[in-house]
């Protein structure tokens, strides 16, 4: 069940960069990057009230700030800026490094120590996406590339922290409270960047922004954190190797990009690495730190 929920979350996240690429052309970096949290907060407040959720403890609040910095502020804002100049396939390849970032932070924050087989499969998957990037000839590292790599680091940290916190606070509650923490600080910047011209944005742009706010910023995290809480942070993070190829597929479907034979071959290699990594999921292959 943890792996299945993780897959649902990854599929939902895979539409994030394509949706961002469409929305940012009409609404700009600030509205797309921060506005999605402001809009999502409206839904989150309703859900929290209906469920009569208690306020997080002070200890939980500190962890929620980490989640908010990565999942609510850093990743949305940095990727929105990067998608103004980079193609989705470019961003998808770099985001593929997220599983290693998540697993690395999991060791530090959640006390998980993946087996050697896990790390070998992780490096195989990572090597595959690096070869894929070189084959596409992206050229020299640009500022947008640095922004994406920073986004990956921040999100990996927040994933690990959120996965750990979900075990005590609840999966959807983690991202819900993180959104509530971040939204008040984003209202003024977003309001300052709203213009009358945005009202004339096409339906696809509004649909993309709505998807980012409702699904990418909230519902996808519900599935993702549930999966990590049930199946283990490092283990479920393996599924993220599929994310860049889902992104490329959705880009072909919705944005008209083509899928090369090389893309299909690399996708198969990555899927195989995920299967190998999944075999490390029995209890004896993961060492839990009781001190947390």
Q: What per-residue confidence (pLDDT) applies to 290?
A: 32
Q: Say how far apart CA 131 and CA 147 lie, in whole Å.
A: 21
pLDDT higher than threshold 50 for residue 292:
no
Residue predicted with more confidence, 106 or 176: 176
User: DSSP class of residue 197?
Assistant: G
The residue whose two tokens read 């299909």 is 264
Q: What per-residue confidence (pLDDT) applies to 34?
A: 93
Mean local confidence (pLDDT), 213-242: 83
Q: What per-residue confidence (pLDDT) applies to 281?
A: 43
The pairing of strands 287-288 and 112-113 is antiparallel
pLDDT higher than threshold 70 for residue 286:
no
Q: Where are the beta strands (DSSP E) in 78-207?
A: 112-113
User: If you count them, how many residues does the chain have?
Assistant: 292
Q: Say how far apart CA 223 and CA 9 lie, in whole Å.
A: 5
pLDDT digits (tens, 9 = 90+) for 98-154: 877 777 787 676 566 777 877 887 788 778 777 776 666 555 556 777 888 899 889
Q: How confident is the model at residue 18 (pLDDT cuts 50, 70, 90)?
A: very high
pLDDT digits (tens, 9 = 90+) for 82-100: 888 878 877 887 787 787 7
% pLDDT > 90, the chain:
38
% pLDDT > 70, the chain:
87
Which is nearest to 138 in space by CA: 199, 64, 82?
82
| Residues facing 287 on adjacent strands | 113
Q: Say how far apart CA 154 and CA 101 lie, in whole Å.
A: 9
Q: What per-residue confidence (pLDDT) applies to 230?
A: 84
| Residues facing 288 on adjacent strands | 112
Q: What per-residue confidence (pLDDT) applies to 254?
A: 87
Q: What per-residue confidence (pLDDT) applies to 13?
A: 92
pLDDT digits (tens, 9 = 90+) for 26-47: 999 999 999 999 999 999 999 9
Q: Say how far apart CA 110 and CA 95 lie, in whole Å.
A: 22
Q: What per-residue confidence (pLDDT) applies to 112?
A: 65
């Amino acid at each position: 069940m943890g792996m299945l929920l993780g897959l649902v979350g990854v599929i939902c996240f895979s539409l994030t960069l394509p949706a961002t690429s469409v929305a940012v052309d009409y609404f700009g970096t600030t509205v797309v990057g921060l506005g999605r949290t402001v809009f999502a907060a409206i839904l989150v407040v309703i859900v929290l009230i209906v469920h009569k959720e208690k306020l997080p403890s002070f200890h939980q609040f500190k962890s929620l700030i980490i989640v908010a910095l990565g999942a609510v502020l850093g990743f949305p804002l940095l990727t929105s800026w990067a998608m103004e100049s980079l193609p989705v396939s470019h961003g998808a390849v770099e985001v593929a490094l997220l599983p290693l970032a998540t697993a690395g932070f999991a060791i530090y924050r959640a006390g998980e120590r993946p087996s050697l087989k896990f790390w070998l499969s992780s490096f195989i998957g990572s090597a595959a996406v690096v070869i894929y990037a070189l084959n596409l000839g992206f050229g020299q590292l640009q500022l947008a590339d640095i922004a994406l790599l920073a986004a990956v680091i921040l999100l990996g940290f927040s994933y690990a922290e959120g996965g750990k916190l979900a075990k005590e606070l609840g999966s959807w509650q983690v991202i819900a409270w993180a959104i509530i923490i971040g939204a008040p600080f984003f209202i003024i910047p977003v309001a300052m960047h709203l213009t009358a011209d945005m009202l004339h944005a096409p339906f696809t742009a509004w649909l993309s922004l709505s998807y980012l706010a409702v699904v990418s910023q909230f519902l996808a995290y519900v599935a993702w954190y549930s999966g990590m809480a049930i199946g283990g942070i490092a283990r479920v993070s393996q599924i993220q190797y599929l994310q860049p190829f889902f992104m490329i597929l959705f880009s072909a479907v919705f944005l008209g990009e083509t899928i090369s034979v090389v893309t299909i071959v690399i996708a198969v290699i990555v899927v195989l690495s995920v299967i190998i990594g999944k075999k490390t999921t029995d209890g004896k292959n993961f060492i839990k730190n009781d001190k947390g």
